[in-house]
Amino acid sequence: MIDEERGRPAAAAAGDRSPISGWLLEAGRSLFFLAPRWERVRVGPAALMSLFIALVVFNVGVQRLSFAGPMRFYWPAVDMGWLATLLFLWMSWVAVRGRGEPPSRSGAAGTPDVPRLFGVLAAQGLWLMVPYSLSLVVLYKGWPTAVSGAVVVAGWYLVLGWAFLASAWVLVRPWRSIRQGLLLLAMLASSLVLRMWAPTPEFWYPDPEAAPNQGDEAQGPRPRPLVLTQEVAEAQLGALLEALDAVQPQRRGLVDLYAITFAPDADADVFSREGALVGRLMAERFDARGRVLQLQNHADTAATLPWATPLNLHRAIDRAAERMDRDDDILFIHLTSHGGRDGRLAAAFGPLTVDEVTPQQLRTWLDDAGVRYRVISVSACYSGSWIQPLSGPGTLVMTSADAEHTSYGCGRKSELTFFGRAMYDEQLRQTWSFENAHAVARAVIERREKEAGKTDGYSNPQIFVGAEVRAQLAKLEARLAKQQPAPPAATSAASR
């Protein structure tokens, strides 16, 4: 390629530097608000391709360093996340076109053509990825959660702000018109919002075959994504019908417990693990075998367990109501996910779109199904907001937090949430009383949150118990105590 402005080979004009070093040097200058020397940047298909290869390789390498344990490379991620890149290409074209430079002067000092401008913007991103990527490595290598999380969030916004200013400085200097400058700034802001809304895909996921029982330290990355095929979709339909048909009818003369577990967020293994544990506990300790429906969103169970969607939860409630004695039996529902201040329970199972469940919806479904006695357990941040909409004489509602605080233990490194561990893996193995277990679990959770360094205050788990359901639960507890060996005395919070 010939540098038309100077009449000599572009490689010589660039000082015989390699393409990558030229891009990085001039991008580095622009990050400190020094004018890029456009004539020293080598352009061409090979140069741009080498820059993009460097970006992908850097991303893949940093992500792999961040996670411990056997991992599996997810190659489709290479073909994801290009919307922001296309927007940068469009911005480069708008900026160059607005300057009105003739093609023959492309590459002269202060007048970049589209490939040079686009390449320098991309190389800026490579530089700015370094501090944020290093903070990710530090986070997943074991900094205290309360400190590292704040550092990573602060670092992320600092990088975004710096990227915006540096990119804006390159794009809009010199300003030819206020209209062009405002258009470029709006496009640049849109690209940064897009990077936050659709961040860089994850290339690495835990290898279930190499290490199916990895510990907490290997739970940093997201679980492997769902690959939605016709076979999976057909198997899911069969799994749903089989689960609904398998629900056993009520037994005359007995107060039976029917149970539904609902884990709608596939972005962290902790929720599916907790749903499975609670389901087993209800079947084994509360004599609910054949009366437990487990709904969860997870790639490993996509073909074997019904998906955790609002429609499936509604169906599960209706089926339980059909099989139970609605004036005598008790329906237990455990919901576990991230939660918001607005009371919505987070749901994610890409590429599927899954709606969020609200307490008002759940109350309506239970009322419409005619379920009289209900035990509702909500393990989510701000879950105290579920108490008031669900309360009633025949309802026990217990939550992992109040309406103003987050709960704890819902990260990707967690084996169980703090509430799930204290309430279901510990206290309800020693008592059949939800009230007693919740009272002891509150103190246990408070102590563990302080030890873990929770910074936004005690989660403050809540409970409401209606008079009618309390009497019915007492009958269930009495029956279970007669037919099962007496459990050890409940461990007090002070002794733990």
- How far apart are alpha carbons 31 and 47 in whole angstroms? 21
Phi first, then psi: what are they for 292, rounded to 5°? -115, 130
Q: What gap in Å lies between CA 26 and CA 38, rounded to an integer?
A: 8
Spans of the chain, pLDDT less than 50: 1-17, 101-109, 141-148, 208-219, 488-496
Domain spans, the chain = 2-206, 232-495
Give the contacts of 303 (CB within 8 A, at least 6 positions apart). 231, 232, 235, 236, 239
Nearest by Cα to 41 from 97, 91, 115, 116: 116
Bridge partners (DSSP) listed for residue 377: 334, 398
Question: For the domain bounded by 232-495, which CATH number is listed?
Answer: 3.40.50.1460
pLDDT at 134: 64
Question: What per-residue confidence (pLDDT) applies to 373?
Answer: 98
Output the pLDDT for position 209. Answer: 46
- Kindly give, in sequence order, each residue whose CB lies less than 8 Å from that of residue 270, ignoring residues fewer than 6 positions away: 219, 409, 410, 411, 412, 414, 415, 416, 417
**In this predicted structure, what is the pLDDT of residue 453?**
83
- pLDDT at res. 51: 74
pLDDT tens by residue, 164-187: 788 887 776 655 566 666 766 777
> What is the spatial distance between Cα 184 and Cα 188, in angstroms, rounded to a whole number?
6
Q: What digits encode the pLDDT tens for the residues 250-295?
A: 999 999 999 999 999 988 889 999 999 999 999 999 999 999 999 9
Buried b / exposed e over 441-467, threshold 16 CB at 10 Å, is bbebbbebbeeeebeeebbbbbbbbbe
Instruction: Summarize pLDDT for 182-222 with one digit per residue, the tens.
Output: 766 777 777 666 555 555 566 666 554 443 333 333 345 56
Give the pLDDT score at 173. Answer: 63
